[in-house]
């Protein structure tokens, strides 16, 4: 939108036609912080944001309708592509919904493997998020490279288990696709014992950094009430001080067997959101250690489970999990055929993104980038 039009609307926006000149700019989709698929219409008064409208849909791939025209099995590889950093947790959310719909039990060993891969996913997601956040802040390269170095090790583990680094397509309703080898579990154990060293290093590099602190503390504050009312979930909600973690609330899978803390923030600013991720990685390591210690032998999927041509009875089910980004839910309605009648994804990224304007109002343009980075969105999931 041109400057003149914005000037015409100055009165409407500020209530005072003489307050100064307004400038409407379009940030993205080709802005480095928006990764080419997200746009914000920002109205500025000087450097101050007076209005911000997110525009999305650039990466829309019709995920829900495709899944409504595919068999229950064929939807699993598509869920990999929702939040393409965390395919394992996406698989799990969907598998959980189908399991609820049909009433399939999951063997114990499969539950343990699911927890292990989900927590590994959380580790790599949080590590890369911190890397990206710092990248958006101008720390070009270094933190992101360190994070990716660790992430790569986890992706290597995924590749040797499932055949693919990111598009794992690993979980099935009723269990997981292939069993882990003892060597694989040993490698996970080795990674888990080395990871704290990386976390310490990462935290020494960042946590006390004065530039990071001045760029993030008190920036993009999300008040507790607003976070709850807007349906924000995940580390973002917990950074605002709300104790809500679906792993604790629902205890889905076998999460009720593990002891771990849910870190909580106080201020709800970008720095708290950064700290939430750093602390959650420590908790994930705790869960991983317990899971690796307690994992039982047995089958990973009931061989009689019907994967192909599954026809659930008419009904509906909602499966939700705590994905690294928040509450990831899959809502399925079956009408008794091989394809779901309705398939709906509740993407945490999209819903967390809705409070972007509230966090940015009154801040400067440079802060928008940092605040957006702290939400942890993946556009594959926002647009679906």
Which of 21, 140, 193, 207 is close enough to bind other proteins by CB under 8 A? 207
Considering only 72-80, 218-226, 238-246, 346-354, which stretch makes contact with other proteins by CB under 8 A? Answer: 72-80
Contact characters 294-323, other proteins, x per CB under 8 A: -------------xx---------------
Does 62 sit near other proteins (CB under 8 A)? Answer: no
CB of 195 to other proteins, least distance (A): 12
Contact with other proteins (CB under 8 A): which of 29, 41, 64, 70? 70
Instruction: State which of residues 105, 211, 314, 361 lies at the interface with other proteins (CB under 8 A).
Output: 211
- C-beta of 197: minimal distance to other proteins in Å? 10
Task: Please report where in the chains the tokens 């205890």 appear, as a residue.
Answer: 251
266 contributes a contact to other proteins by CB under 8 A: no
3-class secondary structure, 264: coil
User: Which is nearer to other proteins, 40 or 206 (by Cβ)?
Assistant: 206
DSSP string for 124-139 = HHHHHHHHHHHHHHT-
**96 token code pair:** 């959980």
74 binds other proteins (CB under 8 A): yes
Binding region for other proteins (CB under 8 A) out of 73-81, 90-98, 106-114, 358-366: 73-81
Nearer to other proteins, 203 or 358 (CB): 203
d(C-alpha 170, C-alpha 163), whole Å = 9
Question: Furthest-apart CA pair in the chain: how many Å?
Answer: 74
Nearest to 48 by CA among 29, 26, 30, 23: 23
C-beta of residue 68 within 8 angstroms of C-beta of residue 78: no
The closest alpha carbon to 122, from 37, 202, 209, 195, belongs to: 195
- Residue 152 or 225 having the CB closest to other proteins: 152
Q: How many residues bind other proteins (CB under 8 A)?
A: 38
The verdict on whether omega for the bond into residue 29 sits within 30 degrees of 0, i.e. cis, is yes
String marking each residue 322-361 x if it binds other proteins according to CB under 8 A: ----------------------------------------
By CB under 8 A, what part of segment 106-165 binds other proteins?
A: 142, 146, 149, 152, 156, 159-164
Phi-psi region of 141 (alpha: psi -120 to 50; beta: other; left: phi over 0): left
**Least Å from the CB of residue 222 to other proteins:** 25
Which spans in the chain are helix H?
3-8, 10-14, 63-68, 75-80, 87-102, 108-137, 142-162, 182-206, 210-216, 224-229, 235-239, 246-249, 270-294, 348-353, 356-360, 365-375, 379-383
Rounded to an integer, what distance in angstroms lies between the CA atom of residue 342 and that of residue 318? 11
Nearest CB to other proteins, comparing residues 18 and 208? 208
Nearer residue to other proteins within complex by CB, 191 or 242: 191
Among 75, 110, 222, 242, binds other proteins (CB under 8 A): 75
Residue 104 within binding range of other proteins, rule CB under 8 A = no
Question: Residue 255 has what DSSP assignment?
Answer: G
Q: What is the DSSP string of 31-94?
A: SGGGTTS-EEEEEEETTEEEEEEEE--TT---HHHHHHTS-TTTHHHHHHTTSTT-HHHHHHHH
Minimum separation from the CB atom of position 209 to other proteins (A) = 4
Contacts (Cβ under 8 Å, ≥6 apart) of 86: 121, 122, 125, 323, 324, 325, 378
Shorter beta-carbon distance to other proteins: residue 293 or 308 = 308
Near other proteins by CB under 8 A, which window of 57-65, 91-99, 206-214, 362-370?
A: 206-214
Tracing tokens 């960042």 back to the chain, one arrives at 206
Site for other proteins in 162-181 (CB under 8 A): 162-164, 167, 169, 177-178
Instruction: Choose one: 4-12, 211-219, 297-305, 320-328; the region binding other proteins (CB under 8 A).
Output: 211-219
Residues that bind other proteins (CB under 8 A): 70-71, 73-78, 80-81, 142, 146, 149, 152, 156, 159-164, 167, 169, 177-178, 201, 204-213, 307-308
């Amino acid at each position: 939108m041109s400057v003149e039009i914005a000037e015409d609307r100055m009165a409407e926006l500020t209530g005072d036609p003489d307050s100064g000149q307004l400038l409407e700019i379009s940030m993205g989709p080709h802005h480095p912080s928006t990764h080419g698929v997200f746009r914000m219409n920002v109205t500025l008064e000087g450097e101050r944001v007076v209005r911000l409208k997110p525009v999305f849909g650039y990466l829309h791939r019709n995920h829900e309708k495709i899944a409504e025209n595919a068999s229950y099995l064929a939807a699993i590889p598509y869920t990999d592509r929702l939040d393409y950093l965390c395919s394992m947790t996406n698989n799990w959310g969907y598998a959980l919904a189908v399991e609820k719909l049909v009433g399939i039990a999951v063997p114990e060993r499969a539950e343990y493997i699911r927890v292990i891969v989900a927590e590994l996913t959380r580790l790599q997601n949080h590590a890369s998020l911190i890397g990206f956040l710092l990248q958006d802040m101008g720390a070009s390269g270094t933190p992101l490279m360190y994070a990716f170095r660790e992430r790569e090790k986890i992706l290597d583990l995924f590749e040797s288990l499932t055949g693919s680094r990111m598009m794992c397509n690993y979980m099935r309703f009723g269990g997981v696709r292939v069993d882990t080898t003892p060597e694989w579990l040993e490698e996970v154990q080795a990674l888990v014992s080395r990871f704290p060293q990386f976390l310490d290093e990462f935290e020494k590099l960042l946590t006390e950094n004065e530039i990071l602190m001045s760029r993030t503390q008190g920036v993009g504050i999300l008040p507790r009430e607003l976070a709850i009312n807007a349906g924000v979930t995940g580390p973002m909600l917990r950074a605002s001080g709300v104790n809500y973690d679906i792993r604790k609330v629902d205890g889905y899978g076998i999460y009720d067997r593990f002891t771990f803390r849910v870190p909580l923030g106080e201020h709800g600013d970008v720095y708290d959101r950064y700290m939430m991720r750093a602390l959650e990685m420590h908790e994930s390591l705790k869960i991983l250690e317990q899971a690796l210690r307690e994992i039982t032998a047995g089958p990973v999927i009931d061989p009689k489970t019907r994967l192909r041509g599954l026809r659930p009875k008419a009904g509906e089910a909602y499966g939700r999990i705590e994905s690294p980004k928040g509450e990831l839910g899959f809502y399925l309605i079956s009408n008794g055929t091989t394809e779901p009648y309705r398939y709906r994804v509740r993407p945490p990224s999209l819903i967390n993104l809705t409070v972007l304007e509230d966090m940015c109002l009154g801040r400067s343009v440079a802060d928008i980038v940092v605040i957006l980075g702290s939400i942890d969105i993946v556009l594959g999931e926002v647009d679906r």
